[in-house]
Each structure stands twice: as structure tokens, then as C-alpha cells.
């Protein structure tokens, strides 16, 4: 279909000078772009004055909505006081020092040290470099392989994209050598016929043992896992999963890294996703909700063992030769301090209060004959679209069913995210009961409209 953007419109200007990432380009050609001007609580408003309830929290990150006065004030005050610096050469802002203290206090560790980046991708990339560095310094230069899971998402740098076990990375010639991917821990989709959830978990644990034996434990630098796989389509692990795999990793001295870019700071109903699943990793990767989306920032939170080992390796060469111009940016740190306080002082409680209604809404929509599964944890959930519910048969990819649903939701004033054949919801923590009802009402209407409009040959 030809581009119908009006000359000099916001849509035409966006298309003329913007290169779109992670965007369904046919939708852009057929429907145009959405150019936003401001936010009001959990809503965003476009240049035409249309208002959308953003059930994706921007990109998982705007947990306090789009106009929280405490967060904007924290930014304004810090810009007026000290608008920018780094955390290199032994110099850093007072805000960075205070944030590191706070992250240590709220982490899963008794003691911790923090290294700052500008994003979750950079934080995961940094963690890999840290592991390579300390293993080499300890006389294990072959320990460079990284284990992740199928359908995992860890970022878009060359290294973190190699950890991201999504098929689209093949267009970049990724993954790089040495990045190993286990079976996606999604029981509904990956479980075999007549295999119980416990048997599925046991099979995944055996697969990990076999991979370590085949590759050699001395060649593996670390294991990275999201407590709930986010951009894979909100995939919680099967029952007993971390209890089954962690002893295997510990027995082989393989560091365990929790990628909490999405799950950290309350999304699962606890401060950290690893708390929700009862395990303590060796390091935590953080971003997104760290600043409630009000500033680009990431962090590597090192537990005591990795912190001490990395310090020893750095002492030997008198530095850790890595960092970013905006590492520990004082404005980002000031915002993060306020964001963490907001989570502790009420937002986390609201996640816990809203979770039963959120799960009930997902369960209700999952009764639809073309929804095969609902899944989630805390205030993150997904509905999996299927052509046939009994056989779990997916729709023909050419129909772009989840994209149709998301576009129809947009027409109804709701923003949600298509991931594979799933529709994902991860609303801000500030949501009210009325806004929760609005979200599910609009999504339900979109499901009826899309599925009702498919031809009989597709149903």
C-alpha cells in the first residue's frame, strides 16, 4: 500500500528523517507513525490530541507514569546543582556514591559494589567483559563461553545480542562464537506430550549438565538468566526451575548472573525477580525501572565474591580498563534515588495490591477460543494467540495476528506490545482499579474485533 502521509505532517516528518528500530514496517507504511507530545499519569498524548493508556509502561520502564512530579523535580534540582559528570579516574558525584550505597542496601547481597552504564545492553556487555577479565587474571583464559536460554533477551550490543537467543539476530551474523543457548524454559510451548511440569524442569536441568560436560566447565565464563523472560513474551520459569539448575552451576563454579533489567524494582511483586524465585545470584544487571524511565541508566551490581575477585584482577594491572562517558551521571543517579524511594514507599505495595485483579483479567481473556495461554508474574503478563486452542497451533505468521491486535488496541486508545504471537501487558505501577478495568475492556474489544474479522479459512 502506498504511503499516505500528508506533506509536512508529523507523520511525514518522522518518516522522512527517522530510521525505525524494532518496528513493524508494513504497519508504518499502512497506518503511519504515532508522534507523542506529553504524558498524563499512565497515558500518553499524540500530536492529534489522542490519548492512549500505555499498558507497556513505555518499554517496561515508566513504572511511575509519565508526569510524576517527584521525579521531574529530582531531575530539575540536580541539573541546577551539578548537571553532568562521569565516574572515572577516581572522581564521581555525591549522587553516584549515595546511589551505590542504596543499591547495595536494597540488593540481594550483604555487600556489593556497583558499576554504572547507560543501558541494560551495556550492563550485560560490561558483565561479560568483567567475567572474561577476572577468569583470565585467575589463570583460566579459556573460560569465555556464556550460557543463556532460548528466547532470552539481554540486549542489542554485539555481545549482549549474542546472548539474546532470538532468531532475528542472524541478520547480523550473530551470535558470536562461544555463546551457548539452552532450551527456552516455557513449559506450555516446549513441554513434550505427556511430560509433566516437574519432568520438563528435570529435562532442562539434565540439558544444562550435558552442555557443561560437553563444553567443559573450565571453558564457561558465566550463566545469565532473566527471572522471568520479558521480551521473549513474559515467560515465567517452570516450577522448581532455579532450584534444579543452580546446584549444577554452583558445583561447576559457574557464576550466575540475574538479568533484572525488566524484573528489577518491583515488576514481579518483589524488589527483585530473584527474590520472587528464592535464589541469590552472583551479580544483578539493572536498568529500566532503576530510574523509572526518566533517565537512561544501567548498573552492574556485583555480589561480594565477584566484587572481590574483580578488584584483585584490577589491582594487578592498576585499573579496570572499561567505562562510559556518562557512567554514574549525577542527574540519572538523583532520579534513581527518588525512583527507588517511590518503589519502597508505595509503588511496590500497589503492584502487590493490583496483581490479583491483573491475573483475573488475564484469566478472563484467556477464555477466548483463540487465546491458548495466559501467563505472568506480578504486574507483567501475556496472552498467547493460537489458531487452534486444543492443539496449540499458532496462526500463520503472514497474518501478523499479534500486530493486528496491537494496532487495533491503538485504535481503541490502548498501547500494548506484540511479541511473537503474544500480546504483552506491563502497566505502570501507579495504575488505578478503573484504569485496570479500562485496559482489559479495550484489549477484550480488540481481541473480538481481530479474531472476528479473520476469514473462515483462517479460523
| pLDDT tens by residue, 401-417 | 999 999 999 999 999 99
Per residue in 154-183, pLDDT (tens digit) is 999 999 999 999 999 999 999 999 999 999
Per residue in 108-150, pLDDT (tens digit) is 899 999 999 999 999 999 999 999 999 999 999 999 999 999 9
Q: What is the pLDDT of residue 4?
A: 61
| Number of neighbouring beta carbons within 10 Å of residue 215 | 14
Q: What is the pLDDT of residue 453?
A: 85
Per-residue confidence at 459, pLDDT binned at 50, 70, 90? very low
Of the candidates 348, 324, 328, 349, the one whose C-alpha atom is nearest the C-alpha of residue 337 is: 328
pTM (two decimals):
0.95
* Rounded Cα–Cα distance for residues 340 and 140 (Å): 38
Per residue in 44-77, pLDDT (tens digit) is 999 999 999 999 999 999 999 999 999 999 999 9
Q: What share of the chain has pLDDT > 90, as a percent? A: 95
Specify which residues 149 forms β-bridges with. Answer: 182
Per residue in 238-263, pLDDT (tens digit) is 999 999 999 999 999 999 999 999 99
Per-residue confidence at 1, pLDDT binned at 50, 70, 90? very low
Considering only the C-alpha atoms of the chain, give the largest distance between any 2 of them, rounded to a whole number of Å.
69
Q: What is the pLDDT of residue 3?
A: 62
Helices (H), 107-227: 120-137, 158-163, 187-190, 197-215
Distances (CA, A) of 128 to 157, 200, 223, 427: 12, 29, 10, 31
Amino acid at each position: 500500500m502506498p504511503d499516505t502521509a500528508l506533506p509536512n505532517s508529523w507523520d511525514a516528518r518522522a518518516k522522512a528523517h527517522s530510521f525505525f528500530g524494532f518496528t513493524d514496517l508494513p504497519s508504518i507504511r499502512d497506518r503511519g507513525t504515532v508522534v507523542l507530545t506529553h504524558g498524563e499519569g499512565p497515558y500518553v498524548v499524540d500530536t492529534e490530541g489522542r490519548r492512549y493508556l500505555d499498558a507497556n509502561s513505555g518499554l517496561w520502564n515508566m513504572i511511575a507514569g509519565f508526569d510524576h512530579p517527584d521525579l521531574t523535580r529530582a531531575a530539575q534540582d540536580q541539573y541546577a546543582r551539578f548537571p553532568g559528570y562521569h565516574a572515572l579516574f577516581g572522581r564521581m558525584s555525591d549522587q553516584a556514591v549515595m546511589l551505590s550505597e542504596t543499591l547495595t542496601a536494597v540488593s540481594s547481597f550483604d555487600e556489593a559494589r556497583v558499576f554504572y552504564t547507560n543501558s541494560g545492553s551495556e550492563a550485560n556487555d560490561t558483565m561479560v567483559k568483567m567475567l572474561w577479565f577476572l577468569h583470565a587474571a585467575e589463570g583460566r583464559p579459556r573460560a569465555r563461553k556464556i550460557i543463556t536460554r532460548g528466547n532470552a533477551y539481554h540486549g542489542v550490543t554485539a555481545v549482549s545480542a549474542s546472548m539474546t537467543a532470538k532468531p532475528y539476530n542472524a541478520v547480523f551474523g550473530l551470535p558470536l562464537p562461544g555463546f551457548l543457548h539452552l532450551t527456552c524454559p516455557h513449559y506450555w510451548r516446549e513441554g513434550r506430550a505427556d511430560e509433566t511440569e516437574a519432568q520438563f524442569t528435570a529435562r532442562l536441568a539434565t540439558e544444562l549438565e550435558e552442555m557443561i560436560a560437553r563444553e567443559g566447565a573450565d571453558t564457561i565464563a558465566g550463566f545469565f538468566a532473566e527471572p522471568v523472560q520479558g521480551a521473549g513474551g513474559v515467560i515465567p520459569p517452570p516450577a522448581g526451575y532455579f532450584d534444579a539448575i543452580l546446584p549444577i552451576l554452583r558445583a561447576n563454579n559457574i557464576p550466575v548472573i540475574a538479568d533484572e533489567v525488566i524484573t528489577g524494582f518491583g515488576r514481579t511483586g518483589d524488589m527483585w525477580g530473584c527474590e520472587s524465585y528464592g535464589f541469590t545470584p552472583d551479580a544483578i544487571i539493572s536498568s529500566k525501572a532503576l530510574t523509572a524511565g526518566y533517565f537512561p541508566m544501567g548498573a552492574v551490581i556485583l555480589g561480594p565474591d565477584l566484587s572481590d575477585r574483580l578488584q584483585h584482577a584490577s589491582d594487578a594491572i592498576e585499573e579496570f580498563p572499561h567505562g562510559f562517558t556518562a557512567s554514574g551521571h549525577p542527574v540519572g543517579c538523583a532520579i534513581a534515588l527518588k525512583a527507588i524511594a517511590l518503589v519502597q514507599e508505595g509503588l511496590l505495595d500497589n503492584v502487590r495490591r493490583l496483581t490479583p485483579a491483573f491475573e483475573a483479567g488475564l484469566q478472563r481473556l484467556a477464555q477466548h477460543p483463540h487465546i491458548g495461554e495466559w501467563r505472568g508474574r506480578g504486574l507483567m503478563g501475556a496472552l498467547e494467540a493460537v489458531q487452534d486452542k486444543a492443539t496449540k497451533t499458532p496462526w500463520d505468521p503472514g497474518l501478523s495476528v499479534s500486530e493486528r491486535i496491537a494496532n487495533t488496541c491503538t485504535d481503541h486508545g490502548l498501547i500494548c506490545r506484540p511479541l511473537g504471537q503474544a500480546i504483552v501487558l506491563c502497566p505502570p505501577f501507579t495504575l488505578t482499579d478503573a484504569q485496570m478495568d479500562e485496559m482489559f475492556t479495550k484489549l477484550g474489544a480488540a481481541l473480538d474485533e481481530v479474531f472476528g474479522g479473520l476469514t473462515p479459512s483462517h479460523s
